[in-house]
Amino acid sequence: MRFATTTIHAGQEPDPQTGAVTPPIYMTSTYSQKAQAEYVYGRGANPTRDALQKSLAALEAGKRALSFSSGMGAITTALTLLKKGDHAIVTDDCYGGVYRIFTRIMSGYGIESTFLDLRDLVDVEDAFRPETKMVWMESPTNPLMKVVDLKELAVISKAHDSISVCDNTFGSPALQNPLGLGVDLVVHSTTKYIGGHADLLGGAIVTDREDLYEKLRFAQNALGAVPSPFDCWLTLRGIKTLAVRMERHCDNAEAMARFLAGHKGVSNVHYPGLPEDPGHRVAKKQMRRFGGMLSFEMRDAAKVVERLRRLEVIVLAESLGGVESLIEHPASMTHSSVPKEQREKQGITEGLVRFSVGLEDAADLQEDLQRALG
Ligand SMILES: *Cc1c(COP(=O)(O)O)cnc(C)c1O
């Protein structure tokens, strides 16, 4: 099955008992053990969650998937593969919550991390220690849209007997499938493109490695960051339009990137779809299209938030990947938990704006930006 067909049918076959075309929502905490033994308790398993997990595995062309109550629930569960004394190499331009969990939580359990620009493979090689057990990648990264070579990093990671993980939230399974590039684990915040409608929180881990799957399935139940059956159902509903939505997200983002690149108040646009973008070459190799996320730098950093408040169509809010366009100021919003010094080192300036380009008419988005940015 090709991708668009997979989004509609994988895990979502008609119910064998009733013929219901849409999978039912099994709102139950426990199961009678009289006639069956597959389902015991709702934290361990749920048929609606099973349907979602099947769908998620198929979307990433992977063997196994587990779903969670949020992206951070998935990430926390993945990090339990690490033990006291282990070390992780993490992309420096990572999701703020990932930075927070490594520096504020994992450190307390004796797990060290090094934050690095993973585009420099020599630096990555140098960062390995005998106890390095995980390489944490994102591509494109958040918020600077840096593109890292997933295939190369997976090879390096394997050579050091380390688990490679890619947070594929920004690319979505429609545009990029890291497992096929040799990566061990893919994680998602399904809150974003996969759910796609800004109406749920969810997370996922997908893998081809049976050994890791067994550990993670145990951890899913043991830690308990499981999604509600209703959220699983909503996610399945969103997935059915993922292929169509991503095409439009990409069309609109390409149009906005070109518009912003020609705007006098904008000094720089970060979008791997622009031929002059430093990530363009690698992105072209590993992505089908370039996604719906971009960021840009305003020349006049002092008035950024004031300008963004003038927008009428585009919503000033955190998060991304929904049908509606969202815009935000990383330095004061999503990345405010990253210390200023670290932020500046990474290039998250006061003038930087992150834009999740939605599915509105591109002409309305352009007019809105023109009005607000001047
Ligand atoms: C949102 C996000 C997360 C965290 O997901 P939640 O669903 O908010 O817990 C992790 N990684 C990336 C890249 C994200 O955008």
DSSP line for 128-157: --TTEEEEEEESS-TTT-----HHHHHHHH
User: Rounded to the nearest whole angstrom, what is the distance from the C-alpha of residue 189 to the centroid of ligand 1?
Assistant: 5
Residues with CB under 6 A from ligand 1: 70-72, 95, 97, 138, 142, 167, 169-170, 189, 191-192, 201, 203
Band (pLDDT 50/70/90 cuts) for residue 127 is very high
The mean pLDDT value for 119-128 works out to 98
Catalytic residue among 49, 133, 146, 192: 192
Q: Clarify whether 192 is annotated catalytic.
A: yes
User: Rounded to the nearest whole angstrom, what is the distance from the C-alpha of residue 219 to the centroid of ligand 1?
Assistant: 19
Considering only CA atoms, which of 246, 118, 98 is closest in space to residue 176? 246
Pocket test for ligand 1, best of 56, 70, 72 (most atoms within 8 A of CB): 72
Q: Clarify whether 354 is annotated catalytic.
A: no
Beta strands 266-270 and 203-207 are unpaired
Catalytic residue among 86, 92, 167, 231: 167
Report the chain's terminal Cα–Cα distance, integer Å: 47
What pLDDT is recorded for position 39? 97
Which comes out higher in pLDDT, residue 64 or 342? 64
Q: What is the pLDDT of residues 290-321, one digit of tens each?
A: 999 999 999 999 989 999 999 999 999 999 99
Q: What is the pLDDT of residues 152-168, one digit of tens each?
A: 999 999 999 999 999 99
The mean pLDDT value for 318-331 works out to 96
Q: Clarify whether 167 is annotated catalytic.
A: yes
Could you give the CA distance from residue 113 to residue 136 in angstroms, rounded to a whole number?
Answer: 10
Domains delineated in the chain: 3-239 (3.40.640.10), 242-373 (3.90.1150.10)
What pLDDT is recorded for position 335? 86
Band (pLDDT 50/70/90 cuts) for residue 110 is very high
What integer best gives the mean pLDDT of the chain? 96
Q: Please identify, by atom number, the ligand 1 atom nearest to the C-alpha of residue 73.
A: 9
User: Rounded to the nearest whole angstrom, what is the distance from the C-alpha of residue 157 to the centroid of ligand 1?
Assistant: 23
| pLDDT of 225 over the 80 cut | yes
Q: What is the pLDDT of residues 329-368, one digit of tens each?
A: 999 998 887 788 988 888 999 999 999 999 999 999 999 9
What pLDDT is recorded for position 96? 87
CA 8 centroid distance within chain = 21
Sheet holding 352-356, edge to edge: 266-270, 293-298, 352-356, 326-328, 315-316
Q: Clarify whether 95 is annotated catalytic.
A: yes
Q: Please identify, by atom number, the ligand 1 atom nearest to the C-alpha of residue 169.
A: 13
What pLDDT is recorded for position 343? 87
User: Rounded to the nearest whole angstrom, what is the distance from the C-alpha of residue 13 to the centroid of ligand 1?
Assistant: 29
| pLDDT of 285 over the 80 cut | yes
The mean pLDDT value for 192-209 works out to 98
What are the two backbone dihedrals, phi and then psi, of residue 285, each rounded to the nearest 5 degrees?
A: -75, -35
